[in-house]
């Protein structure tokens, strides 16, 4: 028998979410955020060009078909490759 699926979209701000948490849930969230895993996520590198991080490079995967890596402290490999291509085109056009 075929099933019927309906997808709902709900937008909620972090403040709205937290306002609806119980005091115990807020303490659990606080404990999680102060742990190593989330502390490292908050301090993750960010690409100055596209904004990707160690935790999310989905837009680089869409552009290049593969995950990026850090070419420089604040520049991912996908954006570094684009920078090299642009500089090469500028050099060729200027000669």
**pLDDT tens digits along 48-93:** 999 999 889 898 999 889 999 999 989 999 998 876 655 555 555 5
What is the residue range of 28's domain? 12-43
pLDDT at 5: 85
pLDDT at 17: 95
Residue 73 and residue 34 share a domain: no
Task: Write out pLDDT tens, residues 23-33.
Answer: 999 999 999 99
Residue 95 and residue 52 share a domain: yes
Cα 40 to chain centroid distance, Å, stands at: 14
44 pLDDT above the threshold of 60: yes
pLDDT at 18: 96
Rounded Cα distance between 9 and 92, Å, is 49
pLDDT at 63: 85
Rounded Cα distance between 95 and 82, Å, is 20
Res. 3 pLDDT band, cuts 50 70 90: confident
Q: Is 71 helix (H, G, I), strand (E, B) or coil?
A: strand
56: in domain? yes
pLDDT at 92: 54
Residue 93 and residue 58 share a domain: yes
């Amino acid at each position: 028998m075929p099933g019927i699926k309906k997808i709902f979209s709900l937008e909620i701000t972090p403040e709205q979410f937290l306002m609806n948490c119980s005091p115990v849930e807020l303490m659990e969230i606080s404990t999680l955020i102060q742990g190593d895993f989330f502390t490292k996520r908050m301090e993750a590198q960010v690409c100055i060009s596209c904004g990707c991080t160690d935790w999310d490079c989905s837009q680089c995967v869409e552009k290049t078909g593969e995950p990026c890596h850090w070419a420089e402290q604040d520049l991912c490999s996908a954006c570094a490759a684009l920078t090299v291509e642009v500089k090469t085109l500028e050099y060729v056009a200027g000669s």
